[in-house]
Amino acid sequence: MKVLVGFPPTQSPLGTPLLSQNRQFQYFEKPTFLYPVVLGTAATMVKKAGHEVIWRDAIAEDMNWDEYDEMLEKEKPDIFLFETKAPVVKKHWKSINHMKEKFPNMKIVICGDHVSYLPRETLENSKVDYVINGGYYDFAFIDLVNWINEGKGGAPEGVWYRKDGEIVENGRFEFHKDSERDINDAPFPDRELTKYMDYQDEFNLKGRPQFYIMSARDCAWGKCTFCVWDHALYPKGAYKQRTPENTFAEVKHLVDNFGAKEIFDDAGTIPPGKWLEKFCNLMIESGYNKKVMYSCNMRFGWVDREMYKLMKGAGFRLLKYGLESGCQKTIDKLDKGVDVSKVFEHCKDAKDAGLVCHLTMMTGYPWETKNDAMKTFNLAKKLMTAGLVDIHQSTVVMPYPGTPLYEEAVREGWLRFEKDDYEKLAMDQPAMKTIEMSPEEVQGLCKLNYRIYLDPKYIWQHAKSRIKSWEDIKYTFEGLTAVFGHMRDFSRKPERKGDKELLTEEQVERMLANLHNPRQDLVAIKAGAKEPIPHRKIEEVEAKLPVVQ
């Protein structure tokens, strides 16, 4: 069979959509295309099974519909697999209908976090042939291709479709206890087939060529209430990690065959403990710690000082931490499991070991006051000007369907738009009302956070400790261009629906009297939970807040 994998044209006047390998969707003025690891694995699995595979990513290749149609006309694929997310799902419904109109024999398969949460919706609203439910869509897709090819047996698990005009619900793809396959059976993505050179512009990574891999899907913590991948793609029980040996073998493959200079491990958080120790030792004993830089997502408090040193010795360079907020009340509400008062210490331990710290933070939480948001700004500024954090990224929190945050936002009436106005979750404007900040003020705080890069103390820290070569100057320049791009991204005018669009007094009262984590409701209704878990009262939380200057 001839199988097409990639992305259809998804243009917007708002900019270039960051669809691949992005937990948070955003339109960027200065785009970076991240390598879609699971989609790349899906293409590779199908090729290894003996099918002809074409990889065309219209976003990274900047193709318009005329060019894409021409390509489809020429290639005539039997099946097309692509990934979607909430902010562009409606656009993709139209794209599917357009393609089905012109190429009715081509089977269209869609996957991703939004359709995993609402598989039926896409079947009802478009002429799509199959929807894959779950984050192991590479495994589900090869099963589907084989099923279509052989034409016998039942539909593979996790594949939803239509039969005799009725939607057939088919669960979620899972590795069962008696399954003959596991995540280590996934092949390393075929980087040539999937055009790795189209994905080299992630400015936070220094080495070129750079590669994305995933040692786990997705994060062993998996609780943060805004995290769409860890609720819609890899919910509780679906987390799987590769062995350290299997992950190291891919590192070796990328260095030996492609001259990889930096690898970013995009597991939601790199597996900690014995796993990490083993992986570091494999890097050190093999000497690959000297051949490639390794960067990854990290959680505060996940590893200790000694482990940071071992990681540095193993070739680790950059650690990306989700700080999300400098306010403990927000951290608790998000179920982030981080002690804000320890953030300094963790960053210092990582820096002392010689690692680069990258923070991500958000603003625009419904319960967030200006004072709370300034705590985030002040903490980030203090860390950056003290030389403990090198890079930060600031965004507006988005309640993606499938997350506890979305459920709560819908239930409590926090959304600025209708609950299925998914295109409004594109981060070009806040999607939720807050206690006291207007949408413009929320965006202004994002821009303010980016201004930390222009603080003379930060510039001095950066010049003194990080500019050592021509490469570093280039890296700094790319970073600075991206910072100005982000500031422009958050300068877009939000649509206005009312005066300041704040939460009503009643909503605020309800929120403050009941500042609990929505997950607790879920725990309380679980079989075996006799007592509902009491909600934490705001005074209780406030009393524990650390003092941040």
Residue 545 to residue 340: CA distance in whole angstroms: 8
SS3 call for 446: helix
**Closer residue to ligand SF4 in complex, CB, 387/518:** 518
How big, in percent rounded to 5, are the helix, strand and coil portions of the chain? Answer: 45, 15, 40
Indicate which single residue of 219, 254, 397, 483 sits in contact with ligand SF4 (rule: CB under 6 A).
219
The residue behind tokens 């991240």 is: 34
* Residue 195 found at the interface with ligand SF4 (CB under 6 A): no
**Closer residue to ligand SF4 in complex, CB, 109/219:** 219
Indicate which single residue of 195, 223, 419, 492 sits in contact with ligand SF4 (rule: CB under 6 A).
223
Indicate which single residue of 224, 282, 311, 397 sits in contact with ligand SF4 (rule: CB under 6 A).
224
H/E stretch holding 360 reads strand 356-363
Mask of contacts with ligand SF4, 344-383, x by CB under 6 A? ----------------------------------------
By C-alpha distance, which of 358, 366, 359 is closest to 323? 359
Indicate which single residue of 83, 230, 408, 501 sits in contact with ligand SF4 (rule: CB under 6 A).
230
The minimum distance between CB 103 and ligand SF4, in angstroms, equals 37
With beta carbons less than 8 A apart as the criterion, state whether 103 and 72 touch. Answer: yes
The minimum distance between CB 337 and ligand SF4, in angstroms, equals 8
Neighbours of 215 (CB within 10 A): 24
**Closer residue to ligand SF4 in complex, CB, 117/196:** 117
**Closer residue to ligand SF4 in complex, CB, 202/218:** 218
Residue 45 has φ and ψ, to the nearest 5°, of -60, -40
**Closer residue to ligand SF4 in complex, CB, 119/222:** 222
**Closer residue to ligand SF4 in complex, CB, 239/279:** 239
Residue 88 to residue 74: CA distance in whole angstroms: 26
What token pair was written down for 414? 């926090």
Indicate which single residue of 271, 322, 326, 439 sits in contact with ligand SF4 (rule: CB under 6 A).
322
The residue at minimum Cβ distance from ligand SF4 is 268
Which residues on adjacent β-strands are paired with residue 182? none
Q: Are strands 356-363 and 316-324 parallel, antiparallel or unpaired?
A: parallel
* Residue 450 found at the interface with ligand SF4 (CB under 6 A): no
The minimum distance between CB 268 and ligand SF4, in angstroms, equals 3
Indicate which single residue of 137, 160, 161, 221 sits in contact with ligand SF4 (rule: CB under 6 A).
221
Residue 442 to residue 373: CA distance in whole angstroms: 9
**Closer residue to ligand SF4 in complex, CB, 60/224:** 224
* Residue 214 found at the interface with ligand SF4 (CB under 6 A): no
The minimum distance between CB 107 and ligand SF4, in angstroms, equals 32
* Residue 25 found at the interface with ligand SF4 (CB under 6 A): no
Furthest CA-CA distance within the chain:
68
Q: Which stretch binds ligand SF4 (CB under 6 A): 181-189, 218-226, 305-313, 457-465?
A: 218-226
Q: Which stretch binds ligand SF4 (CB under 6 A): 78-86, 222-230, 250-258, 452-460?
A: 222-230
The residue behind tokens 């936002």 is: 409
Q: Which stretch binds ligand SF4 (CB under 6 A): 106-114, 215-223, 407-415, 480-488?
A: 215-223
Distances (CA, A) of 382 to 344, 386, 389, 527: 9, 6, 9, 45
With beta carbons less than 8 A apart as the criterion, state whether 162 and 196 touch. Answer: no
What token pair was written down for 367? 């319960």
328-356: burial string, b at 16+ Cβ within 10 Å, e else:
bbbbbbbbbebbbeebbebbbbbbebebb
Q: Which stretch binds ligand SF4 (CB under 6 A): 196-204, 217-225, 369-377, 472-480?
A: 217-225
Mask of contacts with ligand SF4, 288-307, x by CB under 6 A? -----------x--------
Alpha helices for 419-525 (secondary structure H)? 439-451, 456-466, 470-489, 505-513, 518-524
Interaxial angle between packed helices 470-489 and 456-466, expressed in degrees from 0 to 180 and rounded to the nearest 10: 150
Neighbours of 523 (CB within 10 A): 11
* Residue 17 found at the interface with ligand SF4 (CB under 6 A): no
The minimum distance between CB 217 and ligand SF4, in angstroms, equals 11
Residue 293 to residue 515: CA distance in whole angstroms: 42
> Where in 83-112 is the site for ligand SF4 (CB under 6 A)?
none
Q: Are strands 216-217 and 210-213 parallel, antiparallel or unpaired?
A: unpaired
The minimum distance between CB 521 and ligand SF4, in angstroms, equals 18
* Residue 271 found at the interface with ligand SF4 (CB under 6 A): no
Indicate which single residue of 134, 156, 222, 404 sits in contact with ligand SF4 (rule: CB under 6 A).
222
Interacting residue ranges for ligand SF4, rule: CB under 6 A: 218-219, 221-224, 227, 230, 268-269, 299, 322
